[in-house]
Structure 1
Amino acid sequence: MLDSQVTVTVLLGAGLVATSAGLIAETRSKRALAVRGASAEKQRAAAAAHVAALETEVRQFAEVTMPALVDVIARGYRGVPVPGLHQEQLVGTPVDLAHQAVRQILQEAVAVTRERIGRAARSSVRDIIDEAQTRLHRCQMSVLQEMERHPDGTAYHQSLMNFDHLVTQALHTLQRTRILTGSWPGLQRADCTVREVVESARGRISDYLRVSYTYEPGTGETWLEGRVVEPITVALTELLSNATAYSEGKVYVEVQAFQTGFCVFVDDGGLSMNGFQREEAARQLAQREVLDVTTVRDSGQLGFAVIGRLASEYGFVADVTSTSPQGGVRAVLRIPRELFGHGPSDVEIQAERHAAMVHTTEAPFTEGSLSPGGDGRTPPAVITGPGGLPMRRRRAARTAEPTPDRVPAPADDPDAFSAGLAHLGRTIHDTEQHAFEGDQPHD
């Protein structure tokens, strides 16, 4: 009897243990399933968040980043912020690398397209300028020949001077465009004095009567190398034009000598530039690149860009960050001693005298000798250079002290100044070698 009870008790205990173990196993299984379900839910949530982040990033790149890149790279807008990745957790991921690759491709595409357009446009512009410049040079030579046949002070002579002045301004406009397209000024000059350079630049602007030049023999009669005479003259013309355009009253020009060379000061009494204008002017004066015709905004504000191109090419320096004593802008043109010249040699002086004697004995210059279909005779006072191209003669060396007829007339006497400018214009033109078809710059 006892054995049966023990057996039943043991069996009941074993069943209870088995049942408890099953319940425990089932509970653990449910807990594991619950944990796995929660993990899967978290993974699904994380995946959904990642997809949303990618969608946001793609939308940000397409709607914000790309338009900003086009504004900066293609349209040339400055100050436009270009945002990076919107989601910081994507930095360094394949998405970030793909966006950087697209940026680089866009920059290269715009640069290649712009360069092709710019190269073609600059070539076309240079071809047009060459033809126009040649015709204007011929026109100016004809005017000068006509001026030499009539006495100074007459109404006809004055009208010829006015016409020559207009042609000179037109030539300067062509020069500045030619320089910005990567070409040389298109004119080779013989060695000239600093005074002749200043007066030549003065005669190329409209308000030349407002420019007062403080002449000193020690600086005014110093020779500059012919290779840089025209570039420096063009640069000084731009400074004088800028000074007279943005100020009223007199514009003062003074040349001072320093140990390293000469400084040409141009002082006006207009409004001084603000910080942004000075920064922009300094940027243009320091640039070396040719004109990008695809990003030009205002063609009337290219004077500093012209000076910057010439300064970097020929070795002088321009600066407009100072204030003039009159409260306006002080522009400084620094000419190093390496650009000084020696003037005409004895052989050139003898050639000048001989050409002058021949000129006095030759028949008057006939109309049409320079035009197509003329007799082809070289006009008086013009020497034929290498390749048969007409070339202006050099003039005799000047003494240290200027003679009375070479001292600039006071600017407040228009008639006297006009007569003096006419004499100086003929002298300066006699130093020029005009570049006709096929002529190349001489280094």
Structure 2
Amino acid sequence: MLDPQVTAAVLGAGFAVTSVGLLAQTRAKRALAARCTQLEQRHEADSTHIAALEAEVRHFADAVMPALVDVLARGHRGVPVPGLSQEQLAGTVVDHAHQAVTRLLQEAVTVTREQIGRAARSSVRDVIDEAQTGLHRCQLRVVEEMERHPDGTAYHQSLMSFDHLVTQSLHTLQRMRILTGSWPGLQRADCTVREVVESARGRINDYLRVSYTYEPRTGETWLEGRVVEPVTVALTELLSNATAFSDGKVFVEVQAFQTGYCIVVDDGGLNMNHFQREAAARQLGQRGVLDVTTVQDTGQLGFAVIGRLAGEYGFSADVTSTSPYGGVRAVLRIPQELFGHGPTDEEIEADRQAAASLGGHTPLPLGPAAAAGAADATSGELTSGGLPQRRRRPPVAPAPARDSEPAPSDDPDAFSASLAQLGRTIHHTENTLEGDQLHD
């Protein structure tokens, strides 16, 4: 028979072992339950994360990418590009990956545009060079034919009309080559502001509607030859715009200010609203070449032409003012450093000797409207492109005019008569060297 103490000890030990086992089993079950709970929570978190990733991928494909294409490829201003739809993904790998895709898309569009634009501009310049050369030769033939027939005849008038159409076509080619990154394609000697105004006036369709208030104090100021053609082209664009959006007279006046001169163009047409002024200011401030991939309206490139020339040659233009006649006041500001001094005595004497050596031909007298042709003369030599080489000749004295008297060319009959002289001499003002011949 067992000792009761031994039995008690055995039973106590067994109970202790059983208790320890039960305790260990309970702890194991609790740990397993906690682990299951963690796994369930992690599964739920993973499911939520996967759902957020799926939602973000769909948002990037359905919303972000179309907006980027609209802004970068199609050039739509004001299209908002949305960010992350799931804020908890900010700063994660997904966020960084989307930003990388956006940068690559922007770079791809930019590179493609540059390549397309470069190829297109090069092709356009090649075509323009050939067309411009042909039109210059055509003008020279017309002028030669005009000199063979007396003024006032029907044939002479038809030649003048044809010459005016060719001049307008040349201006159109100049606009395009300027926007494609080239120069105007014409190099002229120093000219007076009066000659610049008359030259620009003769390049638009409704030239009889342009009234230039001539003042010797400002009109006989010499402009540096390097900027004569750019300023003429810019003023032509302003005059063309003024006559296109108004029915009555367009008034031109040259005003001196402390640091240069202003050519003011006032029309009585419809004024521009706030949005049109902003768009015009944006184009006038555009200094880059034409992006052929985003051109929408080729009929509204005049301000872009002016902006390109202004940035290249150092003058400026503004159309934010209202004219006294209710329309738009356009101001072309030319700083003092762009003005020259005209031909020197040595150049005048050299031209006289050259004229004498060519047979003693004396240039025909010019009227006030033909003064735009008084800066250069033909030397009889040809450039490498087959065009006549121009040389400077002495300026022609202007017709006397009172400060308050409008230009005589405001009279249609007087302007028509003087335009006959302009046809003979306006083409002698320009050194028709092609752009690549000088820049290359």
Report the TM-score when normalising by structure 2: 0.87
CA contact (8 A) 1:394 1:430 kept: no
1:9 CA displacement: 6.6
Counterpart position of 2:173: 174
Paired position in structure 2 for 1:367: none
1:154-192 Cα offsets, whole Å, 9 max, x none, are 322222211111010000000000111111111111111
Q: In the aligned structure 1, how far is the partner of 2:202 from the partner of 2:285? A: 26
- What is the percentage of aligned positions where both structures have the same residue? 71
Which residue of 2 is the match for residue 43 of structure 1? 42
Q: 1:3-42 to 2 correspondence within 5 Å?
A: 21-42=20-41
Deviation at 1:302, TM superposition (A): 0.8
Higher relative CO (Cα under 8 Å, sequence separation at least 6) belongs to: 2
Measured in 1, the distance between the counterparts of 2:206 and 2:212 equals 14
Matched, 1:289 2:288: yes
In structure 2, the residue matched to 1:248 is: 247
Alpha-carbon distance, 1:127 to partner: 1.0
Q: Which residue does 2:415 correspond to in 1?
A: 417
Q: Supply the AA of the counterpart residue of 1:96.
A: D
Q: Which residue of 2 aligns with 1:391?
A: 389
Aligned to 1:214: 213
Aligned to 2:321: 322
Contact 1:73 1:110 in 2 (8 A): yes
CA distance in 2: counterparts of 1:436 and 1:150, whole angstroms: 30
- 223-232 or 284-293, which deviates more: 284-293
**CA displacement 1:53-110 (0-9 Å, x = unmatched):** 1111111112221122122112222111111222112122111111111112222222
Provide the secondary structure at the position in 2 that maps to 1:439.
Answer: helix
Contact kept in structure 2, 1:356 and 1:381, CA below 8 Å: no
The amino acid across from 2:239 in the alignment is L
Map of 2:231 onto structure 1: 232
Worse-superposed segment, 7-16 or 131-140: 7-16
Task: Give per-residue Cα distances to partners, 1:33-56, cap 9 Å, x unaligned.
Answer: 222211110000001111111111
Q: In the TM superposition, what is the alpha-carbon distance from 1:422 to its structure 2 partner?
A: 3.0
| Structure 1 residue matching 2:330: 3-state secondary structure | strand
* Counterpart residue number, 2:122: 123
Tell me if the contact between 1:395 and 1:431 (Cα under 8 Å) persists in the aligned partners: no
Aligned partners of 1:232 and 1:410: how far apart in 2? 21
Q: How does 1:370-409 map to 2 (within 5 A)?
A: 381-384=378-381, 390-399=388-397, 402-403=399-400, 408-409=407-408
**2:371 aligns to what?**
none
**Aligned residue in 1 for 2:332:** 333
Give the superposition deviation at 1:13.
6.2
- Give the counterpart letter for 1:214 in structure 2: T
Q: State the one-letter code of the partner of 1:40.
A: L
Give CA deviations for 1:203-262 in whole Å, capped at 9, x if unaligned: 111111111111111110000011110000001111111111122211111110011100
SS at match of 2:438: coil
Judging changes above 3 Å, is the alpha-carbon distance between structure 1 residues 441 and 415 closer, same or farther for their aligned structure 2 residues?
A: farther
Pairing of 1:129-278 with structure 2 (within 5 A): 129-278=128-277
SS at match of 2:394: coil
Instruction: State the distance in 1 between where 2:124 and 2:20 align.
Output: 97
| 1:324 alignment partner AA | S
Query: What one-letter code is carried by the residue in structure 1 that aligns with 2:280?
Result: A
Post-superposition Cα deviations, 1:272-306, rounded to whole Å, max 9, x if no partner, equal 22222222211211122111112111111111111
Deviates more, 1:164-173 or 1:135-144: 135-144
What is the rounded CA distance, in whole Å, between the counterparts of 1:389 and 1:176 in structure 2?
21
* Residues 211 and 253, structure 1, Cα contact 8 Å, conserved in 2: yes
8 Å contact from structure 1 (residues 72, 78) kept in 2: yes
| Count of paired positions | 421
Deviations 1:391-417 (A, max 9, x none): 234332345x6347xx84343x32222
Question: C-alpha distance in 1, partners of 2:74/2:434?
Answer: 38
* Counterparts of 1:191 and 1:410, CA distance in 2: 23
Q: Which runs of 5+ in 1 are unaligned?
A: 363-379
Shift of 1:152: 2.7
Change (3 A) 1:119 1:312: same
Contact 1:391 1:432 in 2 (8 A): no
Which stretch has the larger CA shift, 11-20 or 172-181? Answer: 11-20
User: What one-letter code is carried by the residue in structure 2 that aligns with 1:174?
Assistant: L
Cα distance per residue 1:321-345 (max 9 Å; x no partner): 2222222221111101111011122
Within the candidate set 421, 427, 430, 1:429 is matched to: 427
1:364-375 matches, within 5 Å, as none
RMSD between superposed Cα atoms in Å: 2.7
Secondary structure class of the residue paired with 1:440: helix
- For 1:153 and 1:408, locate their aligned partners in 2 and report how far apart those are by CA, in whole Å: 22
Partner SS, residue 269 of structure 1 = coil
Specify the alignment match of 2:74 in structure 1. Answer: 75
